[in-house]
Structure 1
Amino acid sequence: MTFVQTFSIDPNEFSGKHVLVSGGTKGAGAAIVRRLMAAGATVATAARSPLPEDLSPALFVQADLVTAEGVAQVANAVLGRFGAVDVIVHNLGGSATPGGGFAVIDDVLWQQELNLNLMAAVGLDRALLPQMIERRAGVVIHISSIQRRLPLHESTIAYAAAKAALTTYSKVLSKEVGPKGIRVTSVAPGWIMTEAAEHMVSRIAEHGGIDEAVARQSIMDALGGIPIGRPAFPEEVAELVAFLASGRAAAIHGAEYTIDGGTVPVV
């Protein structure tokens, strides 16, 4: 199953805008980079993994954003090249903990998940928001997860807790910087068709001694199913991010938008 684009993109919507997307070399992050570039944005991205050959942002910084040194490296590179950043998309995140529930997650794994899914965004905000506040303009988008509401006890306890903290942090930040001209929102995707999602399937299969088809179905069962019958495409997440980053969403602030095919079964 592949994504088919059935709508047009305004190639000038983000003309003159400078954007930073963290974790923009794979999955939804790469899709966000491509979508904003297609709309005329000058995009920088940063990640630990190398830049793929089919992605060509205006600036790429290979750095580890879970460290203070990595955050400083990225912030200095972006501000040095662009002078200012108009939009920050905190896409960096993921889970590397094994299956097996709470007992297998030691202190090191807990700290890794918190650093990757929460503190990297906090660090970049601290480094880049001052220039937005000075100009009284900017947009910050945090990519959270429906796991903050529907954690999978088998494999995503620490990840889910970190994403819950990210959503709460995003809301608090919106209260502080909204009056200073900065819009802050968050996006909570459900299951997305990415390489990282397939790695989670592999970890569950390996831990449980089952094949990947059974592991994949176990995730679907734990989620309670996806009413539209499939996970979201990375490009669909990118489209929501592009809307929230645009002037079309000028009155949207402090809110979280879920994109999960109807997985979360409550209002």
Structure 2
Amino acid sequence: MRTLWKGAISFGLVNIPVKMYTATERKDLHFHQLHATCKTPIQYRKFCPTCQVEVNPEELVRGYEYEKGKYVILRDEDFQLLPGENTKTIDILDFVDLAEIDPVYFDRSYYLGPNPGGEKAYALLKQAMAETGKIAIARVMIRTKTVLACIRGWDQLLVMETMFFPDEIRAPELITAEFKEVKLHPNEISMATSLIGNLSAPFDPEKYTNEYRSKLMEMIQAKIAGEEVAVPDAPETGKVVDLMEALRASLQATAGPKEEETTKKRRKKKTG
């Protein structure tokens, strides 16, 4: 696996040399935009509307728009002056309980592997976090951006999850302020919790697949083979359904073996 970054975890006075790898990969199907007339992929070119010329990469600079149409220019040497720009260190700031962090803060996952010579310190940090039940909150520079991150043990590895800073999380009140006040009947709550119970199961990631991507790939293969692609009728949506009736129907549909097993146990207790 290709290494994205090499550096060290700073843990008190201990430095743990590590390599960073991408933990996930997108399986999306990518399409090219073609000219409909000749089916040639189109090109994107950087063009200056003022000078009416195509601009080469070496002619580009970075500018921050501080007022409409006004920019301050930042060059590479300016970024070199910023704190942390040249650091290759994952600085551990605190140790916290994972349960205290809402998943909305998590962004991307990376694997951290030990660099030669750092295996013992790497294993020590992983074991110490496992025994204390804590995860590390850290700060790290990735490419040209300082990010917040958490480090935790998973399987035989340390995993680093990049996180959003608090000011990057949109306030829930922006949405909840528009909510209408509703009253829930105890029967509705009871039936909803029963439905959740019927649908509860151990998490098995292998059973969740991207059906849309599979169907799209089947369609592409059929088109390559020159076959006719059948389009199924879209399911009806938008009908207003009575909540209690929907809950009852869902409970009946999901009862299955669990409900039968519960009923059998009750009968045995009565006859026993």
TM-score (norm 2): 0.18
Higher relative contact order (CA 8 A, sep 6+): 1
Looking at secondary structure, tell me which structure has more helix per residue: 1
**Higher CA-based Rg:** 2
Superposition TM-score, scaled by structure 1 size: 0.18
